[in-house]
Structure 1
Amino acid sequence: MAGFLARRLIGYVVLVAVATSMAYLLAAAALNPRANYAERMPRPPETAVDAQLAAYNLNDKEPLATRYLTWAAGVLHGDFGRAWNGSSVNEDLGRRAGVTLRLVVAGLLLGAIAGVAVGACAAVGQYGWFDRLSTVASFGVLAVPTVVLANMLIIGAVWFNELTGVKIFLVSGESTPGVDSTLDRLQHLALPTLTLALSMAAVFSRYQRNMLLDVLGSDFVRTARAKGLTRRTAYTRHALRVALIPVVTYFAFTFGALLVGTTITETIFGWYGLGHQLVASIRTNDVNTVAAISCLAALALLVAAIAADLLQAALDPRVRTT
């Protein structure tokens, strides 16, 4: 088991290094930080712009390889450099990463748990009323764009607040200015989390249903029933356990994609996280911030992949012997 995890970890670290390096090289080659100074009135002298860009390792007149080596040396020491306006990339993303992680972790966990439960129940009762109802609901959610789903939830939350006379759901921002309480953060977290969770639950329920249907007719499930196990015990201890293995892998890669893929949700609900900052950084030609967000996404995927390997080892005894 230790050898298996060590080999996977080494591979993941190499992939993170390659992905982060490629992200920086592409951003440095495609983006033009110099354009931010050209729009200023009065326009600063070119020598002053060169000096400013060089101080932030953004001067396109220097060789790309030189800029990359300078950036990589800083990353190895935990420093992602400066944005085009001189602000610290580390300080900005440190706050934004917490915002996005809080949203993504809550939405993904809730969606995955609900989706697996719905998919398992639908597979066990194939072609029953619950299976048909969950299928219609899942495809209905998947057919609705995120922006529409989010606004539907906002309208429903406003209506519910007016009906009850109490502001249970708060629809804008990650917290109320001047209010620092767990309850207030949860009230702001509810709607964006539900937006992500509904989409994730729809995907996971379809995936889990198909995986479980492939397993229910297997020989080992029939053998378990023949040995005297009840239908429920055979399905939960044996069939569901095997069907969860590919779902765990899918969970890991979904987490990495969501980390920077929540741009629409963050924008609608006023959450200024990594997704929102990634779009803003591309618009302002902020090379170091784009590369830093790509690195954080790769690291998040690494952590999720390791967690998936551990869960896979817990579900599949064969992995623990490799």
Structure 2
Amino acid sequence: MKVNIYDVAKAANVSIATVSKVINNTGRISDKTKKKVNDIIKELDYKPSLIASALMGKNTRTIGFILPDLANPFFSELARYIEDKANEYDYNVVICSTDYLKEKEDMYISLLMQKNVDGFILASGFEHFETVQKLMDEEVPVVIVARNYPEVPVNLVAIHDYEAGYQATSFLIQQGHQRISIIARDIWSNRERFRGYSDAMKDHQLPIPLEIYYAKESTIQAGHDSLQQIMQESKIAPTAIFACNDMMAVGAIKASQKMGLVVPDDISVIGFDDTLIAQIINPALTTIAQPKKKIANEAVNLLMSAIDGDTQNHTIILKTELIERDSVKKI
């Protein structure tokens, strides 16, 4: 049978309030009584309830990490780095995946609030900011990652998606490509990358395809289907594809190969994120790397500061890097 606080109080011959004060290091308790209670706690192997600790005003040493898709290597790698960094602070991480659905975002936030987590790292789309604003209004520590809210004061760690989209497209143009199509999903980060793509094309006086198709998901299959649609409906086939994440880029490569095209000889492909899949695919994927470990470290550091009482909001924008591999050819 599980030991509870009543068992500790009885064995130590003290009140429950005294045990609580010893656990939380509050009140005026003699060193002799503290030692006695702590010895009993160790002897009985008593583990204080996290919920009970929260009700007594003590941190549960747990944070909630809400992300859109754990199957996406970018978010799974980010989750691992966040867990590693949180463990350095002796914190546990509860991870929830939302599929970019607002009802799931709201559900998981409500659930984790009931679990008395000490704060949140939010990496989902959160297209509706009122969900985040409600947490902030309740003075719950929050850090946003993997998207930006330029006009909202909030703790945030992100990249400049617009500039990264411009960089990826400019690189393809520098390699001699003029007919460049994009595969993107209708979410904030991809819309910003699309905006960078569009401006890079305009700045080089290059035509943007008349029909833009947003992928329904950020998956290999979505990239595969998008590439097929682009090739079937384009009057002049593109020589290069900019996919707004590595999974869709891999899908585009698979579809190209199925159509008898050789990457990069017949069509070049550049991805985004630099996940493990970028190195496994053949040919190895040229991509825009996000500094995932640094994003995770900065996010956890910001959240720990907020939990400790820092009420200032901090915005950290990190740089991306172009990783050249084998999927883009100079023409």
Q: Fold-level match, TM-score > 0.5?
A: no
With normalisation by structure 2, the TM-score equals 0.25
Bigger fraction of residues in strand: 2
Bigger fraction of residues in helix: 1
With normalisation by structure 1, the TM-score equals 0.25
Larger radius of gyration: 2
Q: Quick one: higher RCO (CA 8 Å, sep 6+), 1 or 2?
A: 1
